[in-house]
Every structure is written in C-alpha cells, then in structure tokens.
Structure 1
Amino acid sequence: MRRRTLLAAGLAAGTPFPVLAQARQRPVVVAQVFDASPQEQDVAKDFLIGSRAAWQDINARGGLRGRPVQHLNVEVDGTPASIRKAWQELKDNEACIALSGTVSDPVATQLTALLRQDAQAMAHVAPWLQNASVEADDRTFPIFASRQDQIAHALKSLSVIGVSEVGAVFASAREHDLSRDDVARSAAELKLRMVPFRNTGDLSRLGQGLGPGSPALLLFVGGTPELVQFTQGLDRQSRQRYVIALADVNLQTVTQMGGGRTTPIIATQAVPMVTASLPVVRRYREVMARLFDEPPVALSLAGFIAARYTFEVLQKIDGALTRQSVLAAFQRRAEMDVGGYRVAFNEQRRSATFVTQTLLTADGRVVG
C-alpha cells in the first residue's frame, strides 16, 4: 500500500535533524524510536512527522537554550531483537539525554520493559503507550490516553444514548490478546453486553458475513488498512452499521483507501481536534503547512505534542543537561500546559485521560 512505502522514502532510520548552522555548541540529542513493521508503520509515519516538525520549528527558534537539538530517528522492525539492538545503541550514545515519542504501542511497551530491566537513568517521554496494563515506572512518562481510556469513553457515549449491546471486532489474534481485557472490563463497568468477533482470515469477509442478529454498533480494534477491509465488507450488507475505531486509525486515509463508503465511522483520539483553536494546535497546523506536504491528522498532532512537551520540560532545567538531570526533571511530574494541552499525572503515573471523537460520515466528510 502506498502509505506503507512512504517511510522508506523520507524517514530513514538514524537520519539526524538539521542543526542550526550558526550554533557552535555540541547539539543536544533526543532520540525517537519508531516502528517500521508492516502492521504499525502507518501509525509511526504520522506520529514521527509531527515530532520532526516540532523539533525543526524549535531549532528554527533558537533550539534548547541556544543549543541545537538533534532529533535522532531510530528505526526498528517491531521484533524484540531489533528493539534491544536499538536500545543498546542509544545507551552507548553518551550525547543522547532522553527518548521522546516512541511509537508504536508494542514497541513502546517493549522499550518500557527494557528501561525497567536495565535500571538506566534515561527518561522515556511521551511514548505512544496505548496498553493500559503496562505500568509506568519512574522512567516512563505517558501523556496520552490509553486504549482502555478510549474504549471507556466510546462505550460510555453509547450507554448514555441507551445502547445495551456492542460488538467488539478484533482485527487479528494479536489485537485480540492485547485488547480483549480492556474491552471486556469497560463494557462490564457500563453494563453493556459485549459480543466479540475475532478475525481469523479475511476482514472483508468477516464484515460481509455478520448475521442480522449481530449488533449494529461495532467497536473495531485494529489499524487503518484493516478497518478499510472490514468496512468494505460491511458496505455490501443492506443493514446499516456504525463502527467505532480507536486512535491508531487515520480517518482521512480510510477515505482515500475507499473504506467506510456507506458505513459511518466514529474514531476516538487522544489529542484535541486538528481544527481546534488551542495555541499548540494552531502552531502545529502552521508548521505542518510550512514544512511538510501532509494534511493535519490526529496522529501527527500527537507526535508534535510529544516533542513540545519534551522541550518544555527540558528548557526549565537549571544547569547541565545530563541524563540524570533530565530524568530528575521529568520525575517531578509537574502539571504543565503545553499550548492548551494539559499534562497532569495521576496515581498510576499516567497523564490526564483526554479523549475526543471524530465522525467519518458515509459521504466522506470528517466531522469533529
């Protein structure tokens, strides 16, 4: 698929960010580990572009206390061996003071475990850590709503309008294993009957084959290409269905790929609407329009906010920027307003559970 070939063209691993030509000081290195596996590179591409845009804008405005920031992109293929290799290289890179915006969720989960295992003094900031069952320790600082938070938000909306039953469609065995407990727990708390559907082959066939007695409202757990396949099957049915997707889905890409032509899709997202008037969102739109030929989407806004939050904490540090001083600054978990996006950590060491929803109508409009 076209979007899945774009990473190789423009986001090659290890490509350093251009530093300020006039800066004579050694650049500060902030590393971002991104997942180029076929299952996750759609998510990683958008998130990474947003982070790159933010760091380039930061450097254009003077960098970090007058020092340029080298945004080091580290590509992994999602396998444990690849992630361990990347982590080892970053540990050995003495100039690297922090990790920021790790993406995808499976890679963020594995990297969180490696940091805990090695007990390294390295801050793991704003990872795309969707898995609610992963404990955030004193090295990892998640600022985006988890998958469970998103599911709870979506299902609560349904319960408010009197829905008593929802289908849960898992795009793969992997998604089923990662998310079934979160879905079941959220449904039970809201007294909703959950009917699970686990894909074992062709998602289009699964969508087309849902019987008349299956729920009209379907929670879909999977990525953008998988959602397209599923809704293309639903589109062949005469019965109207409504699909609820999570923040890993790009609704604009769903439209481009021909999904949801007659099936309305509601997607949760862990950031404000890309049309919002918040200062950080306005800056994001301006920078993206200036630097990249990419439309504004929720996942790249998340990457932009991840970089901006990292920068805001770093610039408040007094004294030398070392791994130890950086980690100590993030461990304070101070409340922060990142251009209108509020970061406030709870007892589980995760930030506030901000969730919004976007509707992709059957005629292809994205409505926030």
Structure 2
Amino acid sequence: MTDSLPARSRGPVGRRLLTAALCVVVIWLALRFVGDIDWGAVRSSLGKLSWKELGVLAGLLVVRNTLNALPLALFIPGIGMVRALVNDLAAHLLAVVAPPPGDLVLRLKMFASWGVPHAVALAGTVANMVAFYTVRFAVPIVGTMLLVATRWEVGPIGSVLLSSLVAVTILVLALAAVRHDSTAARVGEVAGRVAARVRRSTDPEEWGRWAVTFRHHAASGFRSHLAVSMLGLVAMVLVDASIVVLALRFVGVEAASVPALDVYVTFCLVYPFTLFPFMGLGIVDGLLLAEFVDLGGEGVEAAAVAGLVVWRTVTLGGPIVLGAFMLVAWRLGLVPPRAERSAVADGPHDGRSAT
C-alpha cells in the first residue's frame, strides 16, 4: 500500500518516475520527427560492425574514461592516474546499481585504503564534481566555436547562452568558496538550501561544513589544476563524440550524409542533457537521431539508430564491465596504496587565514 511507504522514500521514487516519464515523452517526440523505424534494417546495419572495429571503439572508451578520471589525479596529491581510474570506474558501477550516496561512500573508502586522509579525499572529490559539472554545461560553447570556425554560423545561441550561464554560475560559486572559510560556508549553505528544495533530506549546514573542508584542502590546488582538468574533460567529451562518429561509419552512415563536424557540434550542443539518468539515455539519443535524419534524410534513419545503439552499448556497458573488474581488483588488494606523502602535501594548500 502507498501509505506504508516511508515518507522519506516517496520523494526519490516520485522523481525517478517523473524522470522516466520525461524520457519516454522525449523519445516519443523524437520518433514522431523521424518516423517509423525499420528495425530489420537496424539489425542489418548492426551486422556490419566487425570485432576489429568494436576493438577500436573499446580503445577509445579507455581513453575517454582516463580523461574523465584526470581531475581526481590532479586534485588529490599523489593518487596517480591508475588509482584515479580505478576509483572512477568502480564508483560509476556503484552509481548504476545502488542509490546515492553509495558511490561517494565507495570513493572515500577506496581513497582511505590507499592512505588518503578523509578530508583530502572529500575535497578532491568535490573539486572533481565542480570541474565535471562546469564542463557539462560549457561544452555547447565548444560546439558553437566549431561552427563559427568552419562555417561562420553560431547555432542555437539562446540555448548556448543559457547553458553557459549555468556553467559560469557553478564556476564562480566554486572560486568564491575557496577564498575564505566564511565565504565557503555561506556558499555551501546557500547551495544546500537550494538542493533541499529538491531533496528534503539535504542538510544546508552540512553542505556548509563540506564547503569549508573543500576550501581548506583544495584551495590553491583547485585553482592551479582547474584549467587542465577542464581541458581534459572537454577532450573527454570530444572523444565521446568521436565514438559516435566512428560507430555511425562502422554501421554504414557515410560522411556525405552525416558529416563528422555536424556530429561533433550536435553532440556538444545536447551534452547538458546528460544530466539525466544514464547520461541522458533516450533524451540525448532522440535529439541526436532527429538531427542525423534531418541531415541525411530518412534513408540514414535505421543505420543512425544502429550507430547510436553501438555508442550506448560501448559507453554505458563498457564502464560497468570495467568498473566490476576494478572493484574486484581493489577488493583483492591488487591496487597498492599511494606513496607516502608529507604532512605538507596532505594539509591545506592555501596559506590564507580563515575569516
């Protein structure tokens, strides 16, 4: 019975149902634009994919996930790329199979097993999230830049400006939070109150304490590594788009029908929709498919669907499989702890006094 459901759990359940309904509506709208899909032709296009080509896509997936883990390696002293990649993939697996904050708990346990102090690990994880969310909303600018540089077009300027505003807001708040303890606490509490409107269990005061912890252990490191982290994440998005391009080519979508440039531009423009569950599964796919059919006509529809199926299989299924291997390797102690770090390296990175 509904009344027996704990009040605390009704909100998340309702939000998941609302998100699922939104995905269904968007997919339905996209299919209305592209027409009826010939699933027999889709299967025929999938049959064109060879094992060698699948291996190429898998190789790009490793590059993509390595770039995705780069901020962790930069923001957490001495963790290194291998541990950052193990941590990121294992956390991705848990985010899929378990409710939040299970992935965050796993991240912190793994860092602790490698000798990373809790405060440093939490600060690095928060910095990683800030960089990722900033790039998620900033990449439409990259798509617009590609259009301007190659065709002197600007694209959907309204949506680009809105997405850019979100990215700038995230970045400005994060940079403000690393200046002083009092500023960090205020920024964290305000963000917590906003989040509490969506998730009632959110404690704004706890968010304020997290912000102060972030400021203590990631202040100067955050500023010095932010640019490289964001460039790495932009490269990650472009590698993801490259997987889409190659998946389309491998299943028979020719460059004359759907040029690679249009794929990169469209992918960047719709990337903010990966905010939805499973990296925008259904929503991003529907928007990409509608654009591909608009470019190449209904003749490319079936092959384009096949290409998107391949892309999703590689980029969603691949990290889950890799994450399972990484989790087992960590459980078996096959990932050694980091080298010994000095107290200076693990301590606060910013010498400013708290105010």
Scaled by the length of structure 1, the TM-score of the pair is: 0.29
Structure with more contact order per residue of length (Cα contacts < 8 Å, sep ≥ 6): 2
Scaled by the length of structure 2, the TM-score of the pair is: 0.29
Decide which structure has greater strand share: 1
